[in-house]
Each structure stands twice: as structure tokens, then as C-alpha cells.
Structure 1
């Protein structure tokens, strides 16, 4: 489905309200993408987080659809809001966008949302993504984020979806070698799992308040 500007669908306010609102001079989408709010020294974390929680609860499904139908900044922000509020009814939509991988940067946010949902259905989406994109050693998309999220779900659900990807000289090792030749850094599965845990534990901690 081709992207459409929210103002073309009657939701012209959503980008300014949810995506480009600034914190410490940075728009929300950039703060989410960089992860700086997860660090202990960013002065704006409390304000940023409370606004994120409020917006995740207040945004309508129609507004989320308007964001998901637009470009990467809007899709990234929408996926975070969906994940924070655990709106599992968006699982199929998130899964379709993730597997299509039409735009950059938003995939990590899809992984966060799926990890937050935390069910076998979400593990299936992540597994399908890795089946499709890990063999592509010429592409550095969101394979790392997907593996980190799937590792978390394996631990939560008692499953072993990641075993066949991470076996020695398996798909993960081959992908790391391939993208390494393209100049991309490599991360261990343990590091990737830790990053997903950090994101989800952050959301869990604040939503309990």
C-alpha cells in the first residue's frame, strides 16, 4: 500500500502532535531512534517518558493508522506508542510492515512492539522476518533487532526459535560476516538481547507508575 500524507486522510495534526514534538531540542522520533532516553544522564527523560505514556494511552487507533501509513518517522513513533500501550490488535499490521521493510529505521520499533506483546504469535512474526532476511548477507536491515527481540521471547515463552539461527557457522554468523564486509559493526546475540530487555524493562517500569 503506498504511503499517504496524514493530511490527505483527515489527520493532518498527528505528525506535529506525536512525531516531531521536541525534547531538549530533539524531535520525539529522533529520541526514540537513538535510545538516549534509556541512559541515566539525559536530563529530559522524565518529561519525555510521561508524555510518551500519556500519548500512548490517548492516541486513537485511527491516528495510529494515519501514522503507520506514512513515512519512517511516523511509523517508528507509531510502533513505539503501540508497544508502550500494548495494543495487540495492531500485531498483523506491524507484522506486514516489518516483513515488507519498505522504509528505513522503523524496523527496530516494530521489534520493540512485538517484544512487548510477548506472545507466540509475535515470535512467529520475528522468526518469519529472520527466515526472509538473514540469508541476505548483502542487506543490513533490522536482522539484529529481530534476533534480540526473539531471544527475549524465547526466554519468556520457554521456546527455542533462535537456536537454528545462532548455531555455530549458521545463518547469524554468516550474516554477520557478510555485513561486516560492508563495513557494519557486529553485535553478539547476548548484546542484542540486552538491548531489547533494556527497552522493554524501561516500558514495564514506567507503565507500573
Structure 2
């Protein structure tokens, strides 16, 4: 992973970090709540306030502000991808796909996968398939293979079959990383469940 990035202040958008990334609707920075997944926990006391502001920001943030966030480090990229996914800004499909495939930073890739799952089209499934084709054979490292598989399973289970068949690329990748052996979070069923939870919860924000 590389560290190439540009602070939004360098292009006249220095305000976007505080406004969208580090704002504290729960007492913690937004990016931490998104990364931890606590927003999906039943009974989380800050859910209403947090999600209301997240949905509002997703609807009102400009494309230029999103680009400023996507050009910086992992916290801003993670937050931007969530905002893009929540609002289904499909105009960012190619940009999100490029960032996912580049895998320049840790942590942000799972948010790219969420955004693609929210878009929900065959084009998004193709991006995820390309990612898995490239990174599952890399049994020496862990990037965002679990999130990508979960998103693909939601979008196109048929295309995911060739990865999840017994002794296929998914099993080979998990078996090559000893710390993942027996981890229930790494089963295809659990990866699909987690993506469904993210997307269905996002749908629920709008129904509410």
C-alpha cells in the first residue's frame, strides 16, 4: 500500500475533514463509528442522532467535496465511500472501483465494497469480481477480500460460486492465512450476512 495523498486544504477544501470525517455525533469521530460497525448494533443509544446527520450529509455533500475526501487518507476515504453508498451516488462507481483495485490504504476498502453493494448493478458485481480475481490468489496478505466477497454474494451469488466452491480460491486464501482458520466471520454465509446487514440498515434509514 502506498501513502500517496493530498490534504483537502491543498485544493481549497480544508473544512471537509471536520465537517464530515471527525464530527462527533456520538461522542466519537464519525469515521470510528463507521469503521467499528457499532452503528449496526441493536440498541446503540446514538443511532438516531448519528444516522440522521449521516443521511443529511450524504444528500447534501457536493461531488467536489467527496473528491477532496477521496484524494486524502483512509479515514476520509472510508467516510466518503459511506456517504456515496448511503446516497447511491452511482456517478462515483468508476472512482470507487479504481480505489478498491488500487488498495492504497487499509480500512477504507470495506467502505468501497459497501458502496458498490448499495449501487447494486451488474457493473458493480464485475468490479468486485475483478478485485477478487486479482487479490484472492494473493495468499500472502489480507486486504478487503472478505468485504468484497460479501458484496458480490449480495449482488450476484452465481458469479461468486466459482470463488466459494470447495477448495476454490476463497478456501485457499483463508487456509493460507493461519489467523483466519476457524474464524466464523470468514465464512461466505457470514460475509453475505454482514453486507446484507449494512445495506438493509441503510435502507431502513430512508424508510424511517
Cα separation, 2, equivalents of 1:38 and 1:54: 18
- For residue 95 of structure 2, the aligned residue among 85, 93, 96 is 93
Runs of 4+ in 1 over 6 A off after TM superposition: none
Relative to the length of structure 2, the TM-score reads 0.95
TM-fit CA distance, 1:25: 2.2
| Matching residue of 1:203 | 202
| Matching residue of 1:175 | 173
Q: Which runs of 5+ in 2 are unaligned?
A: none
Q: SS of 1:168's equivalent? A: coil
TM-fit CA distance, 1:41: 2.4
- For residue 73 of structure 1, the aligned residue among 66, 72, 75 is 75
TM-fit CA distance, 1:43: 0.5
Q: Deviations over 1:80-108 (max 9, x none)?
A: 00000000000000000000000000000
| Matching residue of 1:7 | 9
TM-fit CA distance, 1:40: 1.1
Q: SS of 1:177's equivalent? A: helix
TM-fit CA distance, 1:23: 3.1
Q: Which runs of 5+ in 1 are unaligned?
A: none
Task: Give the alignment of 1:29-40 within 5 angstroms.
Answer: 29-40=31-42
| Matching residue of 2:160 | 162
Q: Deviations over 1:115-144 (max 9, x none)?
A: 000000000000000000000111111000
Contact 2:26 2:49 in 1 (8 A): no
How many residues were matched structurally? 203
Task: Give the alignment of 1:46-195 within 5 angstroms.
Answer: 46-154=48-156, 160-179=158-177, 181=178, 183-184=179-180, 186=183, 187-195=186-194
| Matching residue of 1:18 | 20
Q: Deviations over 1:163-205 (max 9, x none)?
A: 11011101000000112x2x24632100000000000001111
Cα separation, 2, equivalents of 1:201 and 1:114: 14
Q: SS of 1:161's equivalent? A: helix
